[in-house]
């Protein structure tokens, strides 16, 4: 990390500043090429901030070829969604709620062979070029389902979500008509409690605090 030796050859981990930028660009471009070939193509990503110019240009290029792109960017977003002939297929939502989230999740449809990654890096130049960051794939199918369900739920929030317009202005989302209320952080808490209760039932173990007189 502090010397001048070549980094080790990694099989599944992807590391910045050596290779993470290149890998992200390759994954985005693969979806673009699939869309050009008439295949379904989709990118979903969750991060704190999106400011890197090269990544933004790659997302614009993918959008112009018809890739559906949904971004959950909590903080700064330098990309403008919904611009005609530039970013028409891109949606950006920001959610700020009780808990400050720092998870970064990156999803690529990959022709139906879905790939899901967790990472420490935002799509920012400082993360991709000037820090040691790691990304790794979620390969176990049940774990992938859990992560994807949480990721997709971010785009159903109609309590704390704000949608970024092509003019750079955020608009708060409200339930439409009879749509059920969805506050994603509350939903994920309830899901975690349900899974915990199921795990305790399966284990058949009950933990009770020791009380002293």
pLDDT in tens, 14-38: 999 999 999 999 999 999 999 999 9
The conformation of residue 6, written as its DSSP 8-state character, comes to P
63-105 confidence digits (pLDDT tens):
999 999 999 999 999 999 999 999 999 999 999 999 888 899 9
Domain range for 21 is 14-203
How far is Cα 91 from Cα 43, in angstroms, rounded to an integer? Answer: 11
157 lies in a domain? yes
101 lies in a domain? yes
| CATH number for 83 | 3.30.870.10
pLDDT at 1 exceeding the cut of 60: no
How high is the pLDDT of residue 177?
Answer: 79
Q: Which residues have a Cβ under 8 Å from the Cβ of 183 and sit 6 or more positions away?
A: 97, 157, 159, 160
137 lies in a domain? yes
Tokens standing for 13?
């981990």
pLDDT at 8 exceeding the cut of 90: no
1 lies in a domain? no
5 lies in a domain? no
4 lies in a domain? no
Domain count along the chain: 1
pLDDT at 4 exceeding the cut of 70: no
Residues in the chain: 213
pLDDT at 5 exceeding the cut of 70: no
Task: Work out the mean pLDDT of the chain and round it to a whole number.
Answer: 92
């Amino acid at each position: 990390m502090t010397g001048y030796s070549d980094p080790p050859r990694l099989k599944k981990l992807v590391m910045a500043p050596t290779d993470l930028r290149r890998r992200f660009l390759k994954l985005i471009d693969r979806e673009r090429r699939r869309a050009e070939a008439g295949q379904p193509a989709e990118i979903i990503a969750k991060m704190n901030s999106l400011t890197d110019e090269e990544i933004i240009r790659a997302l614009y290029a993918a959008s112009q070829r018809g890739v559906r792109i949904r971004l959950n960017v909590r903080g700064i977003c330098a990309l403008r969604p919904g611009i005609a002939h530039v970013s028409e297929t891109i949606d950006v939502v920001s959610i700020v709620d009780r808990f400050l989230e720092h998870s970064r999740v990156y999803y690529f449809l990959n022709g139906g062979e879905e790939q899901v990654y967790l990472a420490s890096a935002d799509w920012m130049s400082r993360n991709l070029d000037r820090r040691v960051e790691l990304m790794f794939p979620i390969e176990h199918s049940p774990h992938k389902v859990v992560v994807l369900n949480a990721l997709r739920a971010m785009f159903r929030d109609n309590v704390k979500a704000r949608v970024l317009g092509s003019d750079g202005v955020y608009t708060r989302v409200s339930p439409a008509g009879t749509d059920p209320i969805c506050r994603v952080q509350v939903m994920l808490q309830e899901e975690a409690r349900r899974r915990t209760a199921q795990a305790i039932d399966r284990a058949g173990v009950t933990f009770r605090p020791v009380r002293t007189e």
